[in-house]
Structure 1
Protein backbone atom coordinates (compact mmCIF):
# COMPACT_ATOMS: atom_id res chain seq x y z
CA UNK A 1 0.00 0.00 0.00
CA UNK A 2 1.27 3.46 -0.90
CA UNK A 3 2.23 5.94 1.81
CA UNK A 4 -0.20 8.73 2.58
CA UNK A 5 1.44 11.89 3.89
CA UNK A 6 -0.02 12.98 7.22
CA UNK A 7 0.73 15.37 10.05
CA UNK A 8 2.49 12.64 12.05
CA UNK A 9 5.31 12.82 9.50
CA UNK A 10 5.72 16.59 9.78
CA UNK A 11 8.64 18.00 11.74
CA UNK A 12 7.57 21.64 11.59
CA UNK A 13 10.53 22.55 9.39
CA UNK A 14 8.86 23.43 6.08
CA UNK A 15 11.87 22.78 3.84
CA UNK A 16 12.50 19.36 5.41
CA UNK A 17 8.80 18.47 5.40
CA UNK A 18 8.70 19.34 1.70
CA UNK A 19 11.72 17.13 1.00
CA UNK A 20 10.22 14.27 2.99
CA UNK A 21 6.98 14.63 1.00
CA UNK A 22 9.02 14.34 -2.20
CA UNK A 23 10.66 11.15 -0.92
CA UNK A 24 7.19 9.76 -0.16
CA UNK A 25 6.22 10.58 -3.76
CA UNK A 26 9.24 8.61 -5.01
CA UNK A 27 8.32 5.64 -2.83
CA UNK A 28 4.76 5.79 -4.14
CA UNK A 29 6.19 5.84 -7.67
CA UNK A 30 7.93 2.53 -6.83
CA UNK A 31 4.51 1.18 -5.81
CA UNK A 32 3.15 2.33 -9.17
CA UNK A 33 6.02 0.67 -11.03
CA UNK A 34 5.36 -2.55 -9.14
CA UNK A 35 1.73 -2.46 -10.18
CA UNK A 36 2.63 -1.92 -13.83
CA UNK A 37 5.32 -4.62 -13.64
CA UNK A 38 7.81 -2.25 -15.23
CA UNK A 39 11.40 -3.13 -14.33
CA UNK A 40 12.59 -0.17 -16.37
CA UNK A 41 10.37 2.18 -14.37
CA UNK A 42 11.59 0.69 -11.08
CA UNK A 43 15.23 1.21 -12.09
CA UNK A 44 14.52 4.81 -13.13
CA UNK A 45 12.52 5.69 -10.00
CA UNK A 46 15.04 4.01 -7.71
CA UNK A 47 17.90 5.95 -9.29
CA UNK A 48 15.99 9.22 -8.86
CA UNK A 49 15.03 8.30 -5.30
CA UNK A 50 18.65 7.59 -4.37
CA UNK A 51 19.92 10.83 -5.94
CA UNK A 52 17.24 12.91 -4.25
CA UNK A 53 17.65 11.18 -0.89
CA UNK A 54 21.41 11.68 -0.87
CA UNK A 55 21.01 15.40 -1.54
CA UNK A 56 18.32 15.54 1.17
CA UNK A 57 20.66 13.83 3.64
CA UNK A 58 23.42 16.36 2.89
CA UNK A 59 21.01 19.26 3.34
CA UNK A 60 19.60 17.84 6.57
CA UNK A 61 23.08 17.17 7.96
CA UNK A 62 24.11 20.75 7.15
CA UNK A 63 21.13 22.08 9.11
CA UNK A 64 22.01 19.86 12.05
CA UNK A 65 25.65 20.96 11.95
CA UNK A 66 24.71 24.64 11.85
CA UNK A 67 22.37 24.10 14.81
CA UNK A 68 25.00 22.27 16.84
CA UNK A 69 22.95 19.08 17.05
CA UNK A 70 24.94 16.88 19.48
CA UNK A 71 24.11 13.56 17.79
CA UNK A 72 25.04 14.62 14.25
CA UNK A 73 27.65 11.90 13.77
CA UNK A 74 25.24 9.16 14.80
CA UNK A 75 22.60 10.57 12.45
CA UNK A 76 25.13 10.69 9.61
CA UNK A 77 25.96 7.04 10.26
CA UNK A 78 22.27 6.10 9.98
CA UNK A 79 22.14 7.97 6.66
CA UNK A 80 25.26 6.21 5.35
CA UNK A 81 23.94 2.77 6.30
CA UNK A 82 20.63 3.46 4.57
CA UNK A 83 22.40 4.78 1.46
CA UNK A 84 24.54 1.65 1.33
CA UNK A 85 21.48 -0.58 1.72
CA UNK A 86 19.54 1.18 -1.03
CA UNK A 87 22.67 1.17 -3.20
CA UNK A 88 22.69 -2.61 -2.97
CA UNK A 89 19.07 -2.63 -4.16
CA UNK A 90 20.15 -0.53 -7.15
CA UNK A 91 22.82 -3.06 -8.06
CA UNK A 92 20.51 -6.03 -7.62
CA UNK A 93 17.68 -4.59 -9.74
CA UNK A 94 20.12 -3.71 -12.53
CA UNK A 95 21.06 -7.38 -12.77
CA UNK A 96 17.39 -8.16 -13.35
CA UNK A 97 16.56 -9.36 -9.84
CA UNK A 98 13.03 -8.61 -8.69
CA UNK A 99 13.64 -6.70 -5.47
CA UNK A 100 10.42 -4.69 -5.57
CA UNK A 101 8.57 -6.14 -2.58
CA UNK A 102 11.65 -6.18 -0.37
CA UNK A 103 12.55 -2.65 -1.48
CA UNK A 104 9.07 -1.30 -0.77
CA UNK A 105 9.02 -2.88 2.67
CA UNK A 106 12.44 -1.41 3.54
CA UNK A 107 11.67 2.04 2.12
CA UNK A 108 8.33 2.40 3.85
CA UNK A 109 9.45 1.05 7.22
CA UNK A 110 12.72 2.97 7.20
CA UNK A 111 11.29 6.30 6.12
CA UNK A 112 8.44 6.35 8.60
CA UNK A 113 10.65 5.19 11.48
CA UNK A 114 13.45 7.58 10.50
CA UNK A 115 11.16 10.62 10.35
CA UNK A 116 9.19 9.78 13.50
CA UNK A 117 12.25 8.90 15.59
CA UNK A 118 15.64 10.01 14.26
CA UNK A 119 14.51 13.20 12.53
CA UNK A 120 12.10 14.17 15.29
CA UNK A 121 15.09 14.09 17.68
CA UNK A 122 16.91 16.89 15.84
CA UNK A 123 13.87 18.93 14.82
CA UNK A 124 13.59 21.07 17.96
CA UNK A 125 17.28 22.05 17.86
CA UNK A 126 17.14 22.88 14.15
CA UNK A 127 13.86 24.83 14.46
CA UNK A 128 15.29 26.90 17.32
CA UNK A 129 18.43 27.62 15.30
CA UNK A 130 16.37 28.66 12.28
CA UNK A 131 14.24 30.99 14.41
CA UNK A 132 17.37 32.58 15.89
CA UNK A 133 18.98 32.96 12.46
CA UNK A 134 15.81 34.61 11.15
CA UNK A 135 15.72 36.93 14.16
CA UNK A 136 19.37 37.96 13.61
CA UNK A 137 18.72 38.58 9.91
CA UNK A 138 15.68 40.74 10.65
CA UNK A 139 17.61 42.68 13.30
CA UNK A 140 20.38 43.42 10.80
CA UNK A 141 17.85 44.64 8.26
CA UNK A 142 16.07 46.75 10.89
CA UNK A 143 17.66 50.18 10.79
CA UNK A 144 20.14 51.90 8.53
CA UNK A 145 22.58 51.87 11.45
CA UNK A 146 22.28 48.09 11.87
CA UNK A 147 22.63 47.54 8.14
CA UNK A 148 25.69 49.74 8.00
CA UNK A 149 27.45 48.62 11.16
CA UNK A 150 25.76 45.31 12.09
Structure 2
Protein backbone atom coordinates (compact mmCIF):
# COMPACT_ATOMS: atom_id res chain seq x y z
CA UNK A 1 0.00 0.00 0.00
CA UNK A 2 1.37 3.41 -0.95
CA UNK A 3 0.28 6.09 1.48
CA UNK A 4 2.11 8.98 -0.17
CA UNK A 5 2.73 12.19 1.71
CA UNK A 6 0.52 13.21 4.59
CA UNK A 7 -0.70 16.72 5.25
CA UNK A 8 -1.20 18.11 8.73
CA UNK A 9 -4.91 18.12 9.58
CA UNK A 10 -6.71 19.85 12.42
CA UNK A 11 -7.67 16.46 13.88
CA UNK A 12 -3.97 15.99 14.75
CA UNK A 13 -4.01 19.14 16.93
CA UNK A 14 -3.67 18.51 20.63
CA UNK A 15 -3.69 22.18 21.57
CA UNK A 16 -0.26 22.28 23.21
CA UNK A 17 2.08 24.16 20.84
CA UNK A 18 5.22 22.30 21.97
CA UNK A 19 3.70 18.89 21.32
CA UNK A 20 1.90 19.95 18.13
CA UNK A 21 5.15 21.47 16.80
CA UNK A 22 6.97 18.19 17.53
CA UNK A 23 4.29 16.27 15.67
CA UNK A 24 4.57 18.64 12.70
CA UNK A 25 8.35 18.17 12.70
CA UNK A 26 7.94 14.39 12.73
CA UNK A 27 5.47 14.61 9.86
CA UNK A 28 7.95 16.78 7.95
CA UNK A 29 10.69 14.16 8.37
CA UNK A 30 8.29 11.44 7.23
CA UNK A 31 7.39 13.40 4.12
CA UNK A 32 11.11 13.84 3.37
CA UNK A 33 11.48 10.08 3.79
CA UNK A 34 8.70 9.55 1.26
CA UNK A 35 10.43 11.92 -1.18
CA UNK A 36 13.66 9.94 -0.73
CA UNK A 37 11.79 6.70 -1.45
CA UNK A 38 10.08 8.20 -4.51
CA UNK A 39 13.45 9.28 -5.92
CA UNK A 40 15.14 5.98 -5.03
CA UNK A 41 17.60 7.64 -2.63
CA UNK A 42 18.05 4.79 -0.15
CA UNK A 43 20.95 6.47 1.67
CA UNK A 44 18.91 9.60 2.36
CA UNK A 45 15.99 7.46 3.52
CA UNK A 46 18.24 5.63 6.01
CA UNK A 47 19.65 8.94 7.27
CA UNK A 48 16.13 10.30 7.71
CA UNK A 49 14.83 7.24 9.56
CA UNK A 50 17.65 7.79 12.07
CA UNK A 51 16.59 11.43 12.35
CA UNK A 52 12.96 10.39 12.81
CA UNK A 53 13.82 7.95 15.60
CA UNK A 54 16.07 10.47 17.39
CA UNK A 55 13.42 13.18 17.12
CA UNK A 56 10.76 10.74 18.34
CA UNK A 57 12.85 9.80 21.38
CA UNK A 58 13.30 13.47 22.31
CA UNK A 59 9.58 14.11 21.78
CA UNK A 60 8.57 11.11 23.88
CA UNK A 61 10.90 12.15 26.70
CA UNK A 62 9.48 15.68 26.70
CA UNK A 63 5.91 14.44 26.62
CA UNK A 64 6.45 11.88 29.39
CA UNK A 65 8.15 14.48 31.62
CA UNK A 66 5.23 16.85 31.04
CA UNK A 67 2.70 14.15 31.88
CA UNK A 68 4.65 13.29 35.04
CA UNK A 69 4.74 16.97 36.03
CA UNK A 70 1.00 17.52 35.63
CA UNK A 71 0.09 14.27 37.38
CA UNK A 72 -1.44 12.38 34.46
CA UNK A 73 -2.65 9.13 36.07
CA UNK A 74 -1.93 6.89 33.05
CA UNK A 75 1.61 8.13 32.39
CA UNK A 76 3.07 4.64 32.81
CA UNK A 77 0.71 3.23 30.19
CA UNK A 78 1.60 6.11 27.88
CA UNK A 79 5.30 5.48 28.48
CA UNK A 80 4.74 1.80 27.60
CA UNK A 81 2.95 2.88 24.41
CA UNK A 82 5.97 5.00 23.46
CA UNK A 83 8.32 2.08 24.16
CA UNK A 84 6.22 -0.14 21.89
CA UNK A 85 6.29 2.49 19.14
CA UNK A 86 10.07 2.78 19.39
CA UNK A 87 10.51 -1.00 19.19
CA UNK A 88 8.34 -0.94 16.08
CA UNK A 89 10.36 1.92 14.56
CA UNK A 90 13.64 0.12 15.27
CA UNK A 91 12.28 -3.04 13.60
CA UNK A 92 11.31 -1.00 10.53
CA UNK A 93 14.77 0.61 10.49
CA UNK A 94 16.41 -2.82 10.64
CA UNK A 95 14.20 -4.11 7.83
CA UNK A 96 14.91 -0.97 5.78
CA UNK A 97 18.64 -1.63 5.91
CA UNK A 98 18.11 -4.98 4.15
CA UNK A 99 15.75 -3.80 1.44
CA UNK A 100 17.00 -3.39 -2.10
CA UNK A 101 13.83 -2.37 -3.93
CA UNK A 102 11.89 0.86 -4.05
CA UNK A 103 8.67 -1.07 -3.45
CA UNK A 104 10.08 -2.64 -0.29
CA UNK A 105 11.19 0.72 1.02
CA UNK A 106 7.75 2.16 0.25
CA UNK A 107 6.25 -0.44 2.59
CA UNK A 108 8.68 0.57 5.34
CA UNK A 109 7.88 4.24 4.84
CA UNK A 110 4.16 3.49 5.03
CA UNK A 111 4.75 1.68 8.33
CA UNK A 112 6.52 4.76 9.70
CA UNK A 113 3.54 6.95 8.73
CA UNK A 114 1.38 4.54 10.75
CA UNK A 115 3.89 4.97 13.60
CA UNK A 116 3.20 8.71 13.71
CA UNK A 117 -0.56 8.32 13.41
CA UNK A 118 -0.43 5.74 16.23
CA UNK A 119 1.40 8.22 18.44
CA UNK A 120 -0.96 11.11 17.75
CA UNK A 121 -4.29 9.33 17.42
CA UNK A 122 -3.97 6.18 19.54
CA UNK A 123 -1.62 7.64 22.13
CA UNK A 124 -1.94 11.36 22.64
CA UNK A 125 -5.70 11.67 22.29
CA UNK A 126 -5.93 9.52 25.43
CA UNK A 127 -4.59 12.37 27.56
CA UNK A 128 -6.22 15.26 25.71
CA UNK A 129 -9.31 15.31 27.97
CA UNK A 130 -7.05 15.31 31.04
CA UNK A 131 -5.22 18.38 29.69
CA UNK A 132 -8.60 20.04 29.07
CA UNK A 133 -9.78 19.28 32.62
CA UNK A 134 -6.55 20.74 34.03
CA UNK A 135 -7.09 23.89 31.95
CA UNK A 136 -3.81 23.36 30.09
CA UNK A 137 -5.51 23.37 26.69
CA UNK A 138 -8.80 24.77 25.42
CA UNK A 139 -11.71 22.37 25.22
CA UNK A 140 -12.32 21.20 21.68
Superposition CA RMSD, Å: 1.9
Q: Does the Cα contact within 8 Å between 1:30 and 1:104 map onto a contact in 2?
A: yes
Distance 2:33 2:99 in 1: 16
Choose which of 8, 12, 18 in structure 2 pairs with 1:15: 18
Choose which of 109, 117, 124 in structure 1 pairs with 2:129: 124
Larger proportion of helix: 1
Deviation at 1:89, TM superposition (A): 2.2
Structure 2 unaligned regions, length at least 5:
none
Choose which of 32, 36, 48 in structure 2 pairs with 1:33: 36
Choose which of 66, 85, 104 in structure 2 pairs with 1:82: 85
Question: Which structure carries more relative contact order (alpha carbon 8 Å, separation 6+)?
Answer: 2
The higher radius of gyration belongs to 1
> How many pairs are equivalent?
131
Distance 1:76 1:97 in 2: 34
Match of 1:42 in 2: 45
Cα displacement string for residues 65-109 of structure 1 (whole angstroms, at most 9, x for unaligned residues)? 111111111111111111111112222333455552222222222
Structure 1 unaligned regions, length at least 5:
132-150
Relative to the length of structure 2, the TM-score reads: 0.83
